[in-house]
A and B are shown apart, each in its own frame.
Chain A
Amino acid sequence: MSYAVHDLTKSFGSLQVLERIDFSFQESSIIAILGPSGCGKTTILNLVSGIIPPDSGALDGFSGKHYSYCFQEPRLLDWLTVEENMRYALASRLSVESTRSMTLSRIDRFLREAGLADFASYLPRELSGGMQKRLSLARAFASPSDILLLDEAFSAVDLKQRMDLMRTFLGLWSDEKPTTIIVTHDIHDALYLAHTIIVLSQRPSRVVSSIAIDIPHEERVFSSRSMARYEMELYRLLGFNRQE
């Protein structure tokens, strides 16, 4: 099973954001969309998930799929506890008797795997920023879906929390291996997580290149020579030279 995006174009008024975007990827893979800030990465996720319609172009393989979304900001209900936030997102499954117990155990499992089991009765504002992001990740994973969308899910936290979050993500992902599209402006996020990296240009965005990363996750060490090769290539594609 594969997914493909053909000639996707989108404008907001007179502002053209995407120009003939083309890429494809396999099921159960992690794809990273990398590009400068404001180039329309989130717009691609919104188009893929059907939040907004494209001006032109086609989406193959996405029809009828269920999505789960980890937004740039956690988007939690401040008045519900950690567990209640999870239950809220999974309410449609909890309301059906046949899926209720399985859904409850999924909530427990993903809270545990995200390191939040001890904080189930806490309110979001009682958590740190990193923990809120972990909750948002756990919510996205716990909701059964065909495609998982992550929008800058690892940004706006310090380096340690960022590494913790990415490890949490890989730990959760390795269980069920959902097809995942990650949007990021950070080369390291993309290099550490993705099987394929789609590099976008400045707005109006076009696909500059698609790079397959053929290193297993457990061997991805930033200082290694093989990773440095990809890193240099990505910097070049994004228009940086070595001095920058």
Chain B
Amino acid sequence: MRLEISDSIKYSIFWRSLGIAIFLIIWEVASIAVSSNLILPGPLLVLKTLLEMCQKIPFWLSVGGSFLRVLEAFLLSVVLGILTGTLSGMLPRFRNTLSPIMTGIRATPVLALILLAMFWFPSSQVPVFSAVLMAFPIMHTGAEIGVQATDVKLLQMSKLFSVPWKTVLWKLRIPSAMPHLLSGAKNALGISWKVIVAGEVLSQPRFALGTGMQEARLSLETPSVFAWALMTIALCGLTEYLFGTLMRRHFRPLPRSANQSLATRSVS
């Protein structure tokens, strides 16, 4: 069994690596065809530029600044989304009242949000506000579906056995909602990175990936723009991976005993 899992991971790594290799080859070929670093620098040049940038302290301050903004927006979205989503899942009147507001927020283009936020907030908070408005509805929907995901039959069983509400909450309702909450949170994290960087490009706060990207664009340093973008993608992927790993470790709806091989313990 262990061998099979290991093989499947190997295959997965192989195909992913192949996908990355094909992308890099297409990029390199296109770069050679265009033969202008101003329009499309090759992957090696972008990597070299990125490595050079990594040796400078302002670069890491920008990474830290953007990361803190993402963290702030993500946490606000999670708290707000869980609060409104839970209430929506439990109270149909609240859900109906909130529905047009949520539809409005979802339909608003991100750029329009950023431009409006620039009138209302200091430049460092514009990306955070925009990201919260984009990520919070995702979290809200996850929480709303999560609340409604509890099996009615299990709730009925709990009522018959007079299970205390606190036990029902921690042992039944939260584990039932968790897959939807985690899925919502993971998507909210990804969208937070995208909107934060887009907001930074427009609002130009100090210490920000987006600011670095915009300054590089204005100086016509295309390899630097690519390098900033590459760093953003890497950070987004890394935080999503770390978040997924952390959540799987702490909130996996399986007890410790289940970590042993299921196949060897199955009884039929």
Contacts and interface: CB of A to CB of B under 8 A. Distances in A.
Interface in A65-118: 66-69, 71, 73, 75, 77-81, 84, 88-92, 95
A131 B267 contact: yes
B106 to A, nearest CB: 32
B160 interface: yes
Interface residues of B, number: 25
A209 B30 CA distance: 86
A89 B161 contact: yes
Contacts of B153: 71, 73, 75
A81 B171 CA distance: 12
B122 interface: no
Interface in B33-80: none
Interface string A110-140: 0000000001011101111001000000010
Nearest to B167: A91
A128 B161 CA distance: 24
Contacts, number: 75
Contacts of B253: 78-79
A51 interface: yes
Interface string A126-168: 1110010000000100010000000000000000000000000
A123 B167 contact: no
Contacts of A71: 153, 157
A73 B152 CA distance: 13
Interface stretch (B108-116, B227-235, B255-263): B255-263
B154 interface: yes
A54 B124 CA distance: 63
A153 B183 CA distance: 36
Given A51-B156, A77-B171, A92 B163 contact: yes
Nearest to A93: B162
B172 interface: yes
Contacts of B157: 69, 71, 75, 89
A49 interface: yes
A89 B171 CA distance: 11
B265 A122 contact: yes
B268 interface: yes
Nearest to A140: B161
A90 B164 contact: no
B146 interface: no
A49 to B, nearest CB: 6
Residue among B156, B157, B160 with the most chain A CB within 10 A? B160
B267 A89 contact: no
A119 B258 CA distance: 12
B257 A81 contact: yes
Contacts of B163: 88-89, 91-92
A184 to B, nearest CB: 19
Contacts of A84: 171, 255
A126 B160 contact: no
Interface string B115-155: 00000000000000000000000000000000000000110
A79 B255 contact: yes
Given A91-B163, A123-B255, 11 more contacts: A51-B160, A67-B160, A71-B157, A78-B253, A84-B255, A88-B163, A91-B164, A91-B167, A92-B163, A95-B167, A131-B267
Closest CB pairs A-B (n = 6): A79-B253, A121-B257, A91-B167, A89-B161, A75-B157, A69-B160
